[in-house]
Structures are given as structure tokens and as C-alpha cells.
Amino acid sequence: MSLTYKRIIVKIGSNVLTQDNGLPDTARIQHLVDQLAALKKQGREVIVVSSGAVASGRSLVQVSDKADAVTNRQLLAAVGQVKLLSTYAQLFSQHDLVCAQVLVTKEDFRDRVHYLNMQNCFGALLQNNIIPIVNENDVISVTELMFTDNDELAGLIASMLNADALLILSNVNGIYTGDPKDPSSELLREIEPTTTSFSSFVTTQRSQFGRGGMITKCHMAHKVAQLGIAVHIANGKTENILPRLLSGEVENTRFIPSKIASGKKKWIAHSETAAKGVIHINAGAKAALTTPGKAVSLLPVGVTRLTGEFQKGDIIKLVDEHQKPVGLGLAEYGSDKAAERLGQKNQKPLVHYDYLFLNAEIS
């Protein structure tokens, strides 16, 4: 079955772009660029989320053992990002294509104005037939500013740009029922939107991806699929992986997309770190909000307590009586008015259902 995705995000992991010694694998990068160029010539829009800056830096400079790990990472990223983009630019130029660098931090996704500015930039690049090469700005991204990994960044970009598909290229064929190296493990070819737990993959694949690596990847992919974007996890080291993946000729795991969410709702879904306040709701409100097939706004009558200060238009987090997260939404008015209307009937919704994203949608 041939997949006719028009706008595609291709995330290339560092384990695909590097050799066993940790240095860049130039031959594989060229092979991937050739495939990306072929997709462009088919009329598809391609956005690349690429790791590899630190590895590229490592190929140019020796870092001091006396410096701390964060400083060394910043140094390698600053030097390596130039080489990485130079490599991409040179290889794409062989196909008469131009690429552009887009460096971002998590902070850029927390503010709606920054978010829309980024969205406009990507739109201009795509309209001019330019391939965006996106990476985290490792030079300034430390501690709380860091993405979990580039999978999270790729998911944010896919949601922002209303992509048709996100293709995650790793060093395995997809998600397995156990350790990929175990012959008894089976590849999961499709994951339904109703899947509720990936915990079985954490213990079996931790050694392959690092602590929590695959569980994070699964939750991100599931969340993006719930926003109406198909997600595929495939082996980026496979020969001609991209055309073979899109023609259905190669093994991979596909997260089946669910309903299509609005652009603003997609932003809200990824904005937990931007929440300015916490709204505590009672059991009745939670039951009403999470009833399948119903679009319900959060009314003040269902709110028991407020934590933090927020203004109209701020992201707020909803939790139940046991402090378990329920969802995220945009406040229709500030915390001062919300406090006045706490528990009252016949009041304007605190969060309208059009601007409410529930964790039940991704659980």
C-alpha cells in the first residue's frame, strides 16, 4: 500500500547518523539526503529534524576532561552545528535544493507569539521550496530548557505544521513485544489509538535506548497520532528506507492517527510546561469532561480550588481530587475572576471545550 503523505516530518536519530566510534557517518547522511531529495521531487513537503551536532563537533575538536559535561556539550554543539549544516547544504546542493537551519529551544513553544512566529517562518521556507533542518539549540538548552530528546521536538514540529506524517528513523525496525535482539520478540506493525499502556516495553528495551527511551518515544508517537498525524518508527540504517517505507515495502511500526485536532489544540496539547496555574476539579466535573463522544467545557461549578495566578489566554493545568492530571486548556478569564466564581452555577466556562485538551485523548 502506497502512502500519499504530502507534508512529512523526518526525524533522524544520532544513532543513525553516527558510526560506532561516535563520529558522523557521511555515507549514510548522503544516502538519506538522496532519499529526501527524491521525496521533494515527488512534490512532497519535507522537514528534517536532525540530531548529530555534538557528533559533528567531536570530529573537529578535542574537549577538555577538566570541563563539566554541560560545557563540553555546548562547545561541541556550537562547533558541530556549523559542520552539520554545511554537510547538509553541500549534499542537498547536488540535487539543486536549498536547506535552512532552524534552531529552537523548549521555551520557543511555551509562548503563543513565539509559536506563531516559528510557524510563519516554516511556512515561508516551504513556500520557497527550501528544506528546513531543525535541531535543538544545544548551545543554550540546558536543564529545564531541554527537550526530552529530538523525538519530542519532532512531535512538536509535526503538530505545529499540521503534518500528514512523522517518520522517526531509529536503529531498530520499530516497536517489539520484547527485546529486539530476542528472536521470540515480535514487531508491532500497528498501534491503535485505544492503546493505553506501553510499560511492557520499558524493561525489555531499556538497554537499547537508555532509561525510559522507548517509553518516551511511544508516548510521544501516540500523542501525535491522537492529534491526527500518522507516526512511523523505522530503521534508518535500512537501504532506501524512506521510499520503501512510503510504499509499504519495509517493516515498521505505525501509530494509527485518530481524529484531527485544531491548530490551537495541538499547541495546547504540548504546552504543559507553560501552564501558569492549576485547576482542581471534582469527580463530577472529571466524569463530565471525560465522557466519550461529548464535548464539554469546564464550568466553575466543578472547580474546587485554584493554585497559581493566571490571565485570560494562559495555559492552565487540570487535576482531579487525587492530583492526577486530567488535561490542559486556555483560561477564558483570569484567576481573580475564577476565584470569585469558584463552585458557582450558571457561570461562564473557565475553559471552553474548543481549547481543552484532555489526557484521556492520549491515554
The predicted pLDDT at position 1 comes to: 62
The predicted pLDDT at position 199 comes to: 59
CB of 6 within 8 A of CB of 47? no
Residue type, 102: V
11 has binding-site annotation: yes
Indicate the burial class of 284 (C-beta count within 10 angstroms; 0-12, 13-18, 19 or more): exposed
**Cα distance between residue 300 and residue 342, in whole Å:** 5
- Overall residue count recorded for the chain in this entry: 363
150 has binding-site annotation: yes
| Residues with Cβ within 8 Å of residue 72, at least 6 apart in sequence | 63, 64
Radius of gyration for the alpha carbons in the chain, expressed in angstroms and rounded: 22
The predicted pLDDT at position 196 comes to: 64
Give strand pairing partners of 11: 49, 168
The predicted pLDDT at position 64 comes to: 75
Q: Show the low-confidence residues of the chain (pLDDT under 70).
A: 1, 140-146, 148, 196-214, 259-263, 360-363
The predicted pLDDT at position 200 comes to: 56
Q: Is the dihedral of CA 214, 215, 219, 225 positive or negative?
A: positive
**Cα distance between residue 363 and residue 360, in whole Å:** 5
**Cα distance between residue 106 and residue 108, in whole Å:** 5
Domain boundaries of the chain, sorted by first residue: 7-261, 275-361
Which residue intervals of 187-346 are DSSP H helices?
A: 200-209, 213-226, 241-246, 263-269, 283-289, 335-340
CA 227 to chain CA centroid, Å, is 11
Say which CATH architecture domain 7-261 belongs to: 3-Layer(aba) Sandwich (3.40)
Three cell numbers, residue 343: 463552585
The predicted pLDDT at position 141 comes to: 62
CB of 351 within 8 A of CB of 338? no
**How much is the pTM?**
0.75
Neighbours of 273 (CB within 10 A): 12
**Cα distance between residue 159 and residue 7, in whole Å:** 11
Packed helices 26-41 and 69-93: angle between N→C axes, nearest 10 degrees: 50
CATH class of 275-361: mainly beta
Neighbours of 309 (CB within 10 A): 12
Q: Cα dist. 198→44, 304, 359 in Å?
A: 32, 32, 15
* Residue 182 φ then ψ, to 5°: -85, 120
**Cα distance between residue 161 and residue 153, in whole Å:** 12
